[in-house]
Structure 1
């Protein structure tokens, strides 16, 4: 059974920008489990984040984007301009409270932020184990899993593995299709088959399910 190999990278300083202080504190606790993390800074205002980012070396930035964000692309671009080497992940609202309820709307937002330099996204209501697994997959962050993944009898086709690899790299369906020289509709078909095999309904759950079934190797070398 082939694996999608994710190499770990050193993440020492992380910045979180979000309007909900309780969420920030919760997320900081989860990030403490990441290998090599030395500092996790929190910001309520993106302008303050950008000002500090121009003077401090951030390895990872997580920033809130919601329906009140006037220009998500410019927001991400400003962060990347201030810290060109940083990895940026977008924090979307919890699905129960967000106006971004459809896959197409999420794809549109991801396309905007990805073009501006974002590496991927998470949901505010993502579970703890999903959060850690998704961070590891998207950003290449090494974590010590609480238990080793169990190899299953699930067999993925080469194209389904391509879909999973695209998820791990934080790519949109359009970007995956462009990389593979196939249409976005074909990508959607492969994603549906992948989700069906893994028994999930979205890419975040697919990454976690793949890890749990031994299809995604997040071990630290």
Structure 2
């Protein structure tokens, strides 16, 4: 199955580079390019891409707003493109439902791999970048105490709670399956149910929620 990709960035050179890399990759088709968030939403509604690569800072409608619209309307999975000095924007994008993010200088093989992973329902959780950011803004401070446990937590089964804990560790479906001795197909089913019960749009949001609440595998097995 061909993965349809939409690229949203206000720099022509960046769009060209991304389009060239992905357009030459097996199983991937670039279906559109947008120079701002509003155009990205319009094109996503028209082409229903599997994955959208979304810049954050664009004129008019920014990438965070556009990501939220795409995710809430179920139009596309989103990978945010960013740089190290935009941590506050990354936080907003992940909370908006992005499946993850990449640094714009990402090597071509990693970019292709990330697109395929997200299209398959995984999150792009780079150990070098994403986990640091999750830890940074999930940590409670006097100005921002930890939020109360999510309402849907009580509805999770014991297995779903274990999967939720694994998401909080940033594990892939394969890693979760190994940890819990279950198949990847079963993991995908549990992940979908966890997201639905907790009212979340992405596994990255689930990871943030688990970290914010200080939930561990042991805590979850004990129940709410």
For each residue in 1:9-37, what CA deviation from the matched residue of structure 2 results, as whole angstroms up to 9, or x when unmatched?
Answer: x4442110101111111111221244433
Structure 2 residue aligned with 1:165: 172
- Aligned to 1:41, the other structure's residue is in SS state strand
Higher relative contact order (CA 8 A, sep 6+): 1
CA distance in structure 2 between the partners assigned to 1:141 and 1:171 by the alignment: 11
Q: Is the 8 Å Cα contact of residues 36 and 58 (structure 2) preserved in structure 1?
A: no
CA distance in structure 1 between the partners assigned to 2:100 and 2:7 by the alignment: 15
Structure 1 residues 159 and 85: alpha-carbon distance in aligned structure 2, compared to 1, 3 A threshold: closer
Structure 2 residue aligned with 1:74: 65
Q: Is the 8 Å Cα contact of residues 163 and 176 (structure 1) preserved in structure 2?
A: no
Structure 1 residues 117 and 69: alpha-carbon distance in aligned structure 2, compared to 1, 3 A threshold: farther
Structure 1 residue aligned with 2:109: 129
Q: TM-score, normalised by structure 1?
A: 0.51
Q: Is the 8 Å Cα contact of residues 62 and 89 (structure 1) preserved in structure 2?
A: yes
Q: TM-score, normalised by structure 2?
A: 0.51
Structure 1 residue aligned with 2:4: 13
For each residue in 1:113-153, what CA deviation from the matched residue of structure 2 results, as whole angstroms up to 9, or x when unmatched?
Answer: 233221111111111222223333344389xxxxxxxxxxx
Query: Cα RMSD between the aligned structures?
Result: 3.9
Ranges in structure 1 where 5+ consecutive residues have no aligned partner: 1-9, 143-157, 184-221
Q: Is the 8 Å Cα contact of residues 16 and 42 (structure 1) preserved in structure 2?
A: yes
Structure 2 residue aligned with 1:27: 18
Structure 2 residue aligned with 1:146: none
Q: Is the 8 Å Cα contact of residues 16 and 61 (structure 1) preserved in structure 2?
A: yes
CA distance in structure 1 between the partners assigned to 2:213 and 2:69 by the alignment: 27
Structure 1 residues 178 and 140: alpha-carbon distance in aligned structure 2, compared to 1, 3 A threshold: farther
Structure 1 residue aligned with 2:77: 87
Ranges in structure 2 where 5+ consecutive residues have no aligned partner: 123-164, 176-201, 218-224
Deviation at 1:74, TM superposition (A): 2.5
Q: Is the 8 Å Cα contact of residues 37 and 61 (structure 2) preserved in structure 1?
A: no
Structure 1 residues 32 and 48: alpha-carbon distance in aligned structure 2, compared to 1, 3 A threshold: same
